[in-house]
Structure 1
Amino acid sequence: MDSRHEFSKNARKRPNENDDDDEGEDEAISHLIVHQKLPPFLDGKIKFSKQVNPVLPVKDPTCDMAVNAKKGSSLVKELRQQKEVKKAQRKEWELKNTQIGEIMNVKNEDEADAKNGSYKDKYSKHLDTLKADKKKIQTQRKSLPVFSCRDELLHIISENNVVIVVGETGSGKTTQLTQYLHEEGYADSGCIACTQPRRVAAMSVAQRVSQEMGVDLGKEVGYSIRFEDNTSKDTVIKYMTDGILLRESLSDQDLESYSCIIMDEAHERSLNTDILFGLLRNIATQRNDLRLIITSATMDAGKFSSFFGSVPVFKIPGRTFPVEIFHSATVVSDFVAQAVSQAINIHLGSKEDGDILVFMPGQEEIEVTCDKIDERLSFVKSQSPDVEIKELKILPMYSALSPEKQAEVFKEAPKGTRKCIVATNIAETSLTVDGVKYVIDSGYSRLKVFQPKMGIDALLIYPISQANANQRSGRAGRTSSGICYRLYTENQYKEELLVTSVPEIQRSNLANVILLLKSLNVKDLMSFKFMDPPPQDNMSNSMYQLWMLGALDNHGELTKLGRDMANFPLDPTMSKMVIESIADGCANEVLIIVSMLSGPNVFYRPEGREEESDRERERFYIHDSDHLTLLNVYKQWQRNRESSNWCSLRFINYRLMVKVKDVVDQLKHIMKTHKYRISSTDDENIIKRCICKSYFHQAAMLKNLKEYQNLRTGMPCHLHPTSALFNAGSLPKYIIYHELVMTTKEYMHCATAVQADWLSELGPMFYSLRTSVYNAEKKQKPLAIYTR
């Protein structure tokens, strides 16, 4: 296949032309031709999956809930637009400089962290107080449902290599099972591992277990998450994300260092968990000494049991209280506005104690919900000053929240105060919050869904499944009888929601997974035992991505470059950039750029000081490269002794910068382990060319004012307003970008200007230059041609 797009480059004179003679001169135009080539192994004849058709994460894309999910909340949109208007109208004199902030004693969390100890220490202190003042630890351990069946459970584990354990959230399976195995002596022959699908859960549970055992976190009990390893040679109980265990299998294919592996929250079916299922299924047949325990919070354990060969299922007796469920009488058009009203009605109308838990899709919806509940409640109080209204402590809960704010959610509310927790689906099963009596279920969550035709991941809102809905309602019956308000009709629950969620493996980009499986010598992907096979399109598109990066050869086999790329816990594109930087002599700079890209944006924009923040950000801009801008931020921070005060004055998140430094150090450790050379350069073009070597497949050409067009797909792409290139006087003709983020528009995240000849040289399977000559005397104009 070789369809083509053709674009013209800026006109340029022949080398020997007379500059003084403007009439009748010939000029050469270079046309960038884009090829759509496929490797032989993607000729359509080879199948990589038993799942031929795409798997949609929604039952019916035309149903009311699916349509409302696509539209989103009108209230959220309205507030977003209001913020943009305020930003445009705000005058510079309103906050002339940071001195006003100093006079007002405005401090950010990073400054406080720097003065009061590290954020890790603060998180530990917060977690140390959780529940400890309610009961003595041992009494509390014995009060958990799992304790009543401890001996029976341990007997079944001793008799079987693989056991499925079903227990409701709060049954104690996550914190107690590792300790029971330790008490039985399993740690004498190897470490006891417990995987978690989320970083927050791995950290918080490890902290809790270390507290229960009376040991320091990081010693006998530790945790390991990407770019953060808090374990030691003394660690016998190790909590980790499933991705960490997956990467450990590269160097220890039979996972010999572990005597027991607990795969917790298996019902969530994360991408890494599903791959581990396939690997551990084989390992368990080869290692009679290994004990594999799969835990789930749902009763749908039959599928797990069948997959592992009809292994026994053990159910921990529950102690949940009855939950009354109310469905909306009519279709809800704005779930955020309705949730706000429902929360206010509960707080004002219920005389009973009990906290409120509101489920929202993501951070933006959570913040708007919190703000609006607070605003509405303040208005009610102002209108009824003589009426005594109980205090309502409104708490957001999402993964990007600071650790100390996350820990606030678990604290018992003061007497006379009710908590209202507004959370993502992290509160469904991963974290247990006591005291919740009322649940408000919006009916939606955010899912990352890979779109193979466009080759991008889109984080979009979708209706939840019936299984999710049942998990959410169950949160109301943890400590007493409860009530769940579903913001969708009973008919919508039955007719519009899938029975169970589509596993992540069936809606994800699988490039990283395929690279890892190939590194584990899985040659035939069709023969790999997936619990639910990924769609053919996702598999072939992901293999295509690896081929164009040079990780796979024309036969679909792993290359040396691909094997080197697999050594890094990074997206394949960034892994390639790191490997290429070794030969290019810019490894130090690329490691910093990759580390800055691996986490959240380090800049923040406090409300009321947006313009001031934007001005500080612009001081770091490298006019033609967001990648080099990130490098500039990090290097200036280093030159200023990694100061928290320096960060504060420039609206940079100090905690995130410390995290970036940790990532840089860990990547350098990997480089040294594999004896890769780390060198440095000040030549910006060398760095930009190195970036282009990995991102040439994500190149775009300027179409009109601030709008670009993807060279390979023709898809419109826009520079983000925070990009260093956004306000450039003259925009570059060609750019490459880190990723495309779909929000209100298709925004390019982190863009860098490149040259047409770089694209043709570094991505020859896609691009080539063709030169044509025209005569200026005939007033011919070079035209941009777009053909298929």
Structure 2
Amino acid sequence: MWHKHMHSPAKKPKVEHSSSNPGGSGWSGGGGFKNSPKLEGHGQPNEALKQERRALPIYPARQQLIAQIRRLPSAIVIGETGSGKTTQIPQYLLEAGVNGGAAIAITQPRRVAAVSVCQRVAQEKNTTVGTSVGYRIRFEDATSSSTKLIFMTDGMLLREAILDSKLTKYSVIVLDEAHERTVHTDVLFGVVKAAQNCRLKTGLKLLKIIVMSATMDVDHFSRYFNKAPVLYLEGRQFPIQVMHTAEPQSDYAFSSVVTLFKIHKEAPAREDVLIFLTGQDEIDSAVKQLRQLSRDMQDLPKLLILPLYAALPPQQQVKVFEKTPPGHRKVVIATNVAETSITIPGIKFVIDCGKVKAKVFNARTGLDILRVVNTSKAQTLQRTGRAGRESAGTCYRLFTEAQFGEMSSNTVPEIQRCNLSSVILQLMAMGISDVMTFDFMDKPDRESILAALTELELLGAVEKISESDMPKLTPLGKRMAAFPLDPKYAKIILLSQEYGCVEEVLTIVSILSVDDIFINQMNKRDEIQSVRQKFVSSEGDHITLLNTFRAFKSVNGNKAWCFENFINYRHINTAREVRKQLRDICSCQGIQFSSCGKDTENVRKCLAAGLFLNCAQLSKQGDFTTVSSRLTVSIHPASALFHCKPACVVYSELIKLGKNYMRNVSVVDPEWLQEVAPSYFKQKKVHLMT
């Protein structure tokens, strides 16, 4: 079934200064995660941690690396797998005083990595998170005025740039895992580059930029950052035996289970396994299946099966880093969150399905198409590298060598396949009006930028656009930019004061900002529907969500109550935390808090005023037609309105899952929509049925 070849280990560590890519397949990574990350920095004796740091491959190159960075305004650092660059370079810069007393920002594409790396660095520095080392992620700030190393998501640094486009708080910005090319990463490239140029022109202290990436796109990065020199840092990559399947696999989830049990029967205990699957539902299903199957196994090590994905709460994420108990084998089933900065100790085997979930936005129809696609070669190499972090390992690829050869070299940047309305609003809030000429590394197509500008214009966030005029942010647009939300949700919150339903709208928007709060199990569908009926509103999903949160609050967030009512405690509790943060922003915006009580008509009026671009009419054929693009759509089966046929609805999002579905749907009166946007419906030549 399997065909094999080998990856060779890296040579001894060194820093090589070059301006071109010497070839080879280096894997960028975190290094040094030998123990469970902890909130406290006192998990081990300080001397032991010092020894671990000195044992990392990056350590002999420390002085040379600091000297190079000290003299360069920008540098591209290529750190092979296991080199320790993610955890060590920020500490080296701080210890050598390269920051000149100012803070150092270190960005990560994902919250999991930002928090995990921060916790590890705090542990190595024998301090607590929030003192000299801290992190900032969406709706969570673990920093203080004394914090000098600030680990954060790309999006958080972007939000800081809205208030301070020169990023004067920082003397060094480290853009880690830059090759992942999330939408925030790509915008941040341009913003940080502009801040550096601006500080040079105005005589302010130089802003150093350090970009850390895998080798696949290194020339592209170097050219973009004014031909920045490339520093190659070799790492501790052990040999990896790569096994491809002889034939294509039609069911990769099933194949991953079969491959795991093959490993389990042959390999000694405590040689752990990392399995890559595509999403939370797929992972949760695999975890449940494997736990059931492993119960009947005799005379084999016990399986410790753990999920890992971005929505998992921190206390559960930490479990994957803990040492495997004697007589056990740890099996971590993860999304692509485990591809890069976080390193899970004990992994000897990787099972790679060769797939990833990718969302593609169609600017013309407003449709988000979420589908499972093949990984790129760059992603595949990253996954393979996970098997060689601590010793020689094996990677089982659930696809053939021919299929690997057909993969694209790099992932299409998210900036070229997403809705740009939030991006454009953020750029304009930073004072960048000419968004069409913004210095993107890989520019989105003109149609997508114009579609985003048009949406913002219709929402009242920018002034009327013409071919000759530069778009300009309105006072409403500036207020909308203060919220870390999709622009339409920011507008709904701002409008809620007029409708006297601020408290209700904050609840609904908070729930829409987290993963699904409802637990859906196929084998308990009837029981779930029966239990959930007490929350369901004939007005639609948004009021159903409101009813659910009110009930959760009435029992003081009782965990047992959530279990009995098939509510995901973790997600609804996260929504409660998000709500507190949004309420704080409202206070800063001078919004007067109000509640409409049990009469929720004004809530739907407010939703209609913010979601009028997302409205659909019932057609004579029994389906719905969107007003914006005349697309035929249906109500999602999970909706409270699935079996209903209201004349007019608004929805939160459109997704394509076989059919085109509206998610989170509410019934609205057509007259409400005509009142809030008469010119829009006139332009669309639509008269909403009453």
Give TM class, smaller chain: 0.7 to 0.9
- The structure number with the bigger radius of gyration is 1
> Aligned pair 1:423/2:334, yes or no?
yes
Report SS of the residue matched to 1:739.
Answer: strand
Who is 2:162 aligned against?
250
> Aligned pair 1:155/2:67, yes or no?
yes
Query: Relative to structure 1, is the Cα distance of residues 646 and 349 closer, same or farther in structure 2, using a 3 angstrom cutoff?
Result: closer
The alignment yields a C-alpha RMSD, in angstroms, of 2.9
Distance 2:36 2:592 in 1: 37
Shift of 1:490: 1.5
> Aligned pair 1:347/2:251, yes or no?
no
Who is 1:286 aligned against?
198
Report SS of the residue matched to 1:189.
Answer: coil
Query: Relative to structure 1, is the Cα distance of residues 604 and 372 closer, same or farther in structure 2, using a 3 angstrom cutoff?
Result: closer
Shift of 1:327: 2.0
Aligned counterpart in structure 1 of residue 236 of structure 2, from 319, 337, 351: 319
Aligned counterpart in structure 1 of residue 121 of structure 2, from 187, 209, 214: 209
Distance 2:46 2:121 in 1: 17
- Residues 700 and 710 in structure 1, CA contact (< 8 A), matched pair in contact too: yes
Shift of 1:709: 2.9
Who is 1:536 aligned against?
446
Aligned residues: 644
Distance 1:565 1:426 in 2: 30
Write the mapping of 1:347-496 to structure 2, written as runs, cut at 5 A.
Answer: 347-350=264-267, 354-374=271-291, 377=294, 381=297, 388-494=299-405, 496=406
Letter paired with 2:671: D
Distance 1:134 1:248 in 2: 34
Distance 1:124 1:483 in 2: 23
Query: Relative to structure 1, is the Cα distance of residues 648 and 704 closer, same or farther in structure 2, using a 3 angstrom cutoff?
Result: farther
- Residues 270 and 324 in structure 2, CA contact (< 8 A), matched pair in contact too: no
- Residues 42 and 123 in structure 2, CA contact (< 8 A), matched pair in contact too: no
Query: Relative to structure 1, is the Cα distance of residues 593 and 706 closer, same or farther in structure 2, using a 3 angstrom cutoff?
Result: farther
Distance 2:186 2:140 in 1: 23
Shift of 1:349: 3.1
> Aligned pair 1:140/2:52, yes or no?
yes
Give the TM-score normalised by the residue count of structure 1.
0.76
Letter paired with 2:53: R
- Residues 42 and 126 in structure 2, CA contact (< 8 A), matched pair in contact too: no
Deviations, residues 309-340 of structure 1 (Å, cap 9, x unaligned): 11121122211111122222222222222222
Distance 1:580 1:292 in 2: 40
Higher deviation after alignment, 639-648 or 463-472: 639-648
Letter paired with 1:734: C
Q: Which runs of 5+ in 2 are unaligned?
A: 1-34, 200-204, 466-470
Who is 1:589 aligned against?
504
Distance 2:409 2:461 in 1: 38
> Aligned pair 1:275/2:187, yes or no?
yes
Letter paired with 1:477: G
Distance 1:754 1:377 in 2: 51
Query: Relative to structure 1, is the Cα distance of residues 453 and 366 closer, same or farther in structure 2, using a 3 angstrom cutoff?
Result: same
- Residues 699 and 735 in structure 1, CA contact (< 8 A), matched pair in contact too: yes
Distance 1:420 1:659 in 2: 27
Letter paired with 1:355: D
Who is 2:15 aligned against?
none
Query: Relative to structure 1, is the Cα distance of residues 638 and 275 closer, same or farther in structure 2, using a 3 angstrom cutoff?
Result: same
Distance 1:607 1:134 in 2: 50
Query: Relative to structure 1, is the Cα distance of residues 754 and 437 closer, same or farther in structure 2, using a 3 angstrom cutoff?
Result: same
Shift of 1:132: 4.7
Letter paired with 1:469: T
Write the mapping of 1:693-704 to structure 2, written as runs, cut at 5 A.
Answer: 693-703=609-619
Who is 2:3 aligned against?
none
Distance 1:130 1:215 in 2: 7
Letter paired with 2:318: A
Who is 1:551 aligned against?
461
Report SS of the residue matched to 1:675.
Answer: coil
Letter paired with 2:454: Y
Query: Relative to structure 1, is the Cα distance of residues 581 and 622 closer, same or farther in structure 2, using a 3 angstrom cutoff?
Result: same
Shift of 1:434: 2.4
Deviations, residues 152-208 of structure 1 (Å, cap 9, x unaligned): 111111111211111124322222222222212355532111111101111122122
Write the mapping of 1:9-20 to structure 2, written as runs, cut at 5 A.
Answer: none
Aligned counterpart in structure 1 of residue 577 of structure 2, from 655, 659, 662: 662
> Aligned pair 1:237/2:153, yes or no?
no
Letter paired with 1:338: S
Distance 1:394 1:528 in 2: 46
- Residues 126 and 404 in structure 1, CA contact (< 8 A), matched pair in contact too: no
Distance 2:613 2:165 in 1: 33
> Aligned pair 1:603/2:514, yes or no?
no
Distance 1:607 1:719 in 2: 19
Letter paired with 1:748: M
Who is 1:635 aligned against?
550
Distance 1:435 1:580 in 2: 52
Query: Relative to structure 1, is the Cα distance of residues 616 and 218 closer, same or farther in structure 2, using a 3 angstrom cutoff?
Result: farther
Distance 2:246 2:45 in 1: 43
Distance 1:411 1:643 in 2: 29
Write the mapping of 1:755-766 to structure 2, written as runs, cut at 5 A.
Answer: 755-766=669-680
Deviations, residues 424-453 of structure 1 (Å, cap 9, x unaligned): 111111311122222222111011211223
Query: Relative to structure 1, is the Cα distance of residues 129 and 411 closer, same or farther in structure 2, using a 3 angstrom cutoff?
Result: farther
> Aligned pair 1:174/2:91, yes or no?
no
Report SS of the residue matched to 2:58.
Answer: helix
- Residues 239 and 388 in structure 2, CA contact (< 8 A), matched pair in contact too: yes
Letter paired with 1:651: F
Distance 2:250 2:660 in 1: 25
Distance 1:326 1:125 in 2: 31
Aligned counterpart in structure 2 of residue 680 of structure 1, from 595, 608, 614: 595
Who is 1:332 aligned against?
249
Query: Relative to structure 1, is the Cα distance of residues 608 and 334 closer, same or farther in structure 2, using a 3 angstrom cutoff?
Result: closer
- Residues 46 and 126 in structure 2, CA contact (< 8 A), matched pair in contact too: no
Shift of 1:651: 3.4
Shift of 1:603: 2.7
Letter paired with 1:737: Y
> Aligned pair 1:754/2:668, yes or no?
yes
Query: Relative to structure 1, is the Cα distance of residues 389 and 633 closer, same or farther in structure 2, using a 3 angstrom cutoff?
Result: closer
Report SS of the residue matched to 1:300.
Answer: helix
Shift of 1:670: 1.6
Query: Relative to structure 1, is the Cα distance of residues 733 and 318 closer, same or farther in structure 2, using a 3 angstrom cutoff?
Result: same
> Aligned pair 1:512/2:430, yes or no?
no
- Identical residues among aligned pairs (%): 40
Shift of 1:371: 4.1
Query: Relative to structure 1, is the Cα distance of residues 410 and 656 closer, same or farther in structure 2, using a 3 angstrom cutoff?
Result: same
Query: Relative to structure 1, is the Cα distance of residues 640 and 418 closer, same or farther in structure 2, using a 3 angstrom cutoff?
Result: closer
Report SS of the residue matched to 2:248.
Answer: coil
Who is 1:31 aligned against?
none
Shift of 1:734: 0.8
> Aligned pair 1:297/2:240, yes or no?
no
Higher deviation after alignment, 242-251 or 180-189: 180-189
- Residues 269 and 329 in structure 2, CA contact (< 8 A), matched pair in contact too: no
Who is 1:741 aligned against?
655
Distance 2:448 2:111 in 1: 26
- Residues 130 and 411 in structure 1, CA contact (< 8 A), matched pair in contact too: no
Distance 1:669 1:538 in 2: 33
Shift of 1:650: 3.2
- Residues 130 and 410 in structure 1, CA contact (< 8 A), matched pair in contact too: no
- Residues 275 and 530 in structure 1, CA contact (< 8 A), matched pair in contact too: yes
Aligned counterpart in structure 1 of residue 109 of structure 2, from 197, 214, 229: 197
Query: Relative to structure 1, is the Cα distance of residues 570 and 299 closer, same or farther in structure 2, using a 3 angstrom cutoff?
Result: same
Letter paired with 1:765: S
